[in-house]
Amino acid sequence: MSWRRWLPLQALSGWQLRDLNGDLIAGLTLAAIAIPEQMATARLGGFAPEIGFFAFVAGSVAFALFGANRHLSVGADSTITPLFAGSLALLATSGSPHYLALAAMLALMVGLIVTLSGVFRLGWIADLLSVPVTTGFLAGIAVHIIVSQMPGLLGLPAESGETLRRVGEIAGNLHLTNPWSLGLGLGVFAIVFCSERISARIPGALIGMVLATIAVVVFGLRNHGVEVLGALPNGLPGAYLPVTSLGDVQALVPLALLIAIVVMVQTAATSRSFASQQDASPNVNRDFVGVGAGSILSSLFGAFAVNASPPRTAIVSQSGGRSQLSGLTAAAIVLALGAFGGALLANVPQAALAGVLMFVAQHILRWKVFAGVYRQAPVEFVLILVTMAAIVVLPIATGVAVGIGLSLLHGIWSATRTEPIELEQVPGTSVWWPPAKPSAGEQLPGVLVAAFQAPLSFVNADRFKRGVCDLVDARDETVKLVVLEASNIVEIDYTAAQALIDTILHCRKAGAVFAIARLESLRAQAALARFGIAEMVGPQRIFHSVDAAIKSLSPGKQQQQGQDGVS
């Protein structure tokens, strides 16, 4: 029954004792990957490292309770953290109590939006960003991460403000670079990079962070200007609802909507890429509920919005994880470290975390997609560059809005370019096909078979009407029968319905009978009935195939058929 899809702990259903070993190994591996990553991501957003731990725990526990995917890992994510960090910094000083309260409130709002989107089955929202726009968006985020981490990597004072200005200030301070910090950061980057090339299951970030910490202690690098985290406070956070003013909530609404869309896009992509083998298809809407609940729980513990992580999810899958018990195992380890192991992290160098984030930045740059789009779709490659430039130059939230707008405009533009085409009969068959070389098709005297290979909507209604009318008027002989091959028309809106009515009237005025063939979409069929077009055309002129329409309404029979219809 459908209600069973909403029961809690779906991601643990069917778990058996023999799965325990795989889940424990995957959980240990996930924890080793997550510990340095969550610390670095928290630092990227202007939060204390332990806040990243609590965000990971909240995301993991909530998704295990309410999500569906058995492998998906939820926690602090470097894709969305620069988005809200840059925007929140315009409303409050980074790291201040007001900043933390805004971040928690934003997490609550994002969580509610994503959760409700799942409950009301709005998974289609995940398709708002095309691949080129998503690629440009990630490239812009990568630039932001690199620019934000360069001071930590080089041992320079932290910079703030617009990205281009920060680049200029970093360039002007290069002579102040601390070689010890640079060496540590590049060393960690190299370890993570090489480890991933060998096996994604090797916790390169953790290995690099431990080695960098040992180097700080053994060689006394704090005396050489290397910045370290310092001892973290022990203890568990208290649960409370975030409190902000109504004005703050209103200011956060646009940002919450943008981040929610990005979270849904990434969650859907991750869920589809790592679908549980036991499931026939991924339950994206249920996964939205799980990820949204993660942000809600994170906000209650004073942390920030969380997201699905494709790399961590891949780790769970490749390490033999069988259920969300692997995520819960990792969450328990991370929670113990965050609550009781603060002293162990005192000598972790900031440059080591910068090295981890530098690796993350180059990892989300989709070089293969860049090259493929450049070769195969130059126009869409421009979308990558424009989106990337908007994310880098403009405030990040504005850049994301520009990216979403470009994606939608590109989809609308593609739909408006659709033109009706005249089909030809494949010689010796009853198949009607678009004109193709080298074998030319045939046309029947007095018969026009036209196709429109897109949904009929307001964006292309006028092109459809003008295109079909031009095809009728352009024929040398008088057209006696017009057959609309409608297999690709899956929707008809009000504006398009009026254009279709005008087209039918034009054909009749030209002396042609109008018929429809292969209208397979139930929504389009309902639209024909709703707008009165089915009655106007007549049920006797709506066919399952073009061949049936021609055999029934051949020019020799049109006079009788025309007398039966409504002129």
Compute, in degrees rounded to 10, the torsion defined by CA atoms 271, 277, 279, 283: 0
211/79: higher pLDDT = 211
Q: Per residue in 45-56, pLDDT tens?
A: 989 989 999 999
**Which letter, b or e, does each residue of 175-200 get, where b requires 16 or more Cβ atoms within 10 Å of its Cβ?**
eebbebbbbbbebbbebbbebbeeeb
Q: Where are the domains of the chain?
A: 11-411, 420-553
Whether the CB-CB separation of 71 and 327 falls below 8 Å is answered with no
pLDDT (0 to 100) of residue 562:
47
Task: Give the three-class secondary structure for 173.
Answer: coil
Q: Is the peptide bond before 8 cis (omega within 30 degrees of 0)?
A: no
| Type and span of the H or E element at 482 | strand 481-485
Compute, in degrees rounded to 10, the torsion defined by CA atoms 433, 436, 441, 443: 70
Residue 199 pLDDT level (bands cut at 50, 70, 90): confident
* Pairing, β 447-451 against β 73-75: unpaired
Can you state the angle between helices 367-376 and 131-154, rounded to 10 degrees? 140
Copy the structure tokens of residue 360.
């993350």
Q: Is residue 283 scored above 50 in pLDDT?
A: yes
For residue 506, give every residue at least 6 positions away whose Cβ sits within 8 Å of its Cβ, in sequence order, or none. Answer: 465, 468, 469, 472
| Type and span of the H or E element at 34 | helix 20-44
Report the DSSP beta bridge partners of residue 546. none
**What is the CB-side half-sphere exposure of residue 34 using CA atoms within 13 A?**
40
Q: What are phi and psi of 349, to 5 degrees?
A: -75, 145
Cα separation values, 508 from 54, 504, 527, 538, Å: 70, 6, 21, 13
pLDDT (0 to 100) of residue 349:
93
Copy the structure tokens of residue 523.
């929504």
Highest averaged pLDDT of the listed ranges 28-32, 222-226, 358-362: 222-226
* Farthest CA pair distance, the chain: 101
Q: Tell me the average pLDDT across 335-342.
A: 83
Q: Tell me the average pLDDT across 139-146.
A: 88
State how far the Cα of 286 lies from the Cα of 284, in Å rounded to an integer. 5
Q: Is residue 560 scored above 60 in pLDDT?
A: no
User: Can you list the alpha helix ranges (DSSP code H) found in 45-130?
Assistant: 49-66, 81-88, 97-119
pLDDT (0 to 100) of residue 108:
97
For residue 135, give every residue at least 6 positions away whose Cβ sits within 8 Å of its Cβ, in sequence order, or none. Answer: 366, 369, 370, 373, 384, 387
The pTM (predicted TM-score) of the whole model is 0.77
Q: How many other C-beta atoms are found inside a 10 Å radius of the C-beta of residue 164?
A: 11
pLDDT (0 to 100) of residue 33:
86
For residue 342, give every residue at least 6 positions away whose Cβ sits within 8 Å of its Cβ, in sequence order, or none. Answer: 50, 231, 232, 233, 234
Nearest to 467 by CA among 453, 481, 480: 453
**Which letter, b or e, does each residue of 47-65 get, where b requires 16 or more Cβ atoms within 10 Å of its Cβ?**
bbbbbbbbbbbbbbbbbbb
Whether the CB-CB separation of 79 and 263 falls below 8 Å is answered with no
C-alpha gyration radius of the chain: 30
Q: Per residue in 100-126, pLDDT tens?
A: 999 999 999 999 999 999 999 887 877
Q: Is residue 564 scored above 60 in pLDDT?
A: no
State how far the Cα of 564 lies from the Cα of 40, in Å rounded to an integer. 76
* Pairing, β 447-451 against β 421-422: antiparallel
Whether the CB-CB separation of 433 and 481 falls below 8 Å is answered with no
Q: Could you name the CATH architecture of 420-553? A: 2-Layer Sandwich (3.30)
pLDDT (0 to 100) of residue 544:
93
470/230: higher pLDDT = 470
Report the DSSP beta bridge partners of residue 421. 451
